[in-house]
Amino acid sequence: MTQATAPVPIAVNFHLYKPCNYRCRFCFATYRDIDGHLPLADAKALLRALREAGAEKLNFAGGEPTLHPQIGELVAEAKALGFVTTLITNGARLDLLLDHHAHQIDWVGISVDSGIEQIQAELGRGRGAHVERSRRHAARVHALGIGLKLNTVVTALNWQEDMHALLRELRPARWKVFQVLAIAGQNDGDVEPLLIDRASFRAFVDRHQDLAAEGLGPVAEDNDAMTDSYAMIDPLGRFYGNHGGRYVYSPPILEVGVAAALAHVDFEVRRLIERGGLYLWRR
């Protein structure tokens, strides 16, 4: 693939840090096969390379990105480069980040899979206070004028749940709903009891479809929709994709360039558009 024909990674998920304070049983970003993360200077160089390649929106993810020791500096750098900045977080150190960098954050995506504390704890999200903490974070994000997203993974423990009340309380501008995904080397050995079929996932989505009339309807992604539709970067600065239920990694982006690295995975802009990945993200 030549530079001229290489797809532009319009929106990038930078999973910049492996550590996490939670142990979600379904997590498909555990990076059991990776040690370490990019030094700050390299991480900033990676952001510049992505921006020069045409990337517009940068999602900081993990692990848990707020645990990264230089997350504030990286958010500031991304904003200075002109990115739309997003944080996908369980809220671990979100308050501290907002204290100093709220003006450089466009969106905060909070991961909430259930309105029931016991279900969240059974899934591995904390020990029984995750929903209440998410309520508090959502209120602060709204008060600061930052866009609020909600991310929900649908599993065997929550596919029959009715989340209308929680959605109406939190009122996210965007609600992403994912079918739990099995990835060898990431969540095997933990995820199997949580897997559901597409019909169960569809039942959860259909149950909440009426929320669309209130601007709260789910943006649904089953396992097929998630495949090859995300430009994802691992903590070592490599693009990666899901091939046959296992991650495949590119050479380091800073060594070979954005286009050459992206050519090693099957990211397709068409699939990003089909899953609703392009929206009015500039606020």
Q: Which residue among 6, 12, 16, 20 is the active-site one?
A: 20
To which residue do tokens 């998410």 refer? Answer: 134
d(CA 48, CA 81): 7
- By three-state DSSP, how is residue 280 classified? coil
Q: CA-CA distances (angstroms) from residue 44 to 49, 77, 101, 257?
A: 9, 7, 17, 14
Do 233 and 253 contact (CB within 8 A), yes or no? yes
Q: What per-residue string of b and e applies to 98-135 under the rule 16 or more CB within 10 Å gives b?
A: beebbebbbbbbbbbbbbebebbbebbbbeeebbebbb
To which residue do tokens 């991304």 refer? Answer: 78
Q: Which residue among 11, 24, 154, 263 is the active-site one?
A: 24
**CA–centroid distance for 38 within its chain:** 19
Q: Which residue among 16, 27, 105, 233 is the active-site one?
A: 27
Is residue 27 part of the annotated active site? The answer reads: yes
The set of residues, in sequence order, having a beta carbon less than 8 Å from that of 230 and lying 6+ positions away, is 13, 241, 267, 272, 277
Q: Helix H segments across the chain?
A: 40-52, 71-80, 94-101, 117-123, 130-143, 164-170, 198-207, 223-226, 253-256, 258-262, 269-274
In this structure, what token pair is assigned to residue 137?
A: 């974070």
Residues catalogued as catalytic: 20, 24, 27
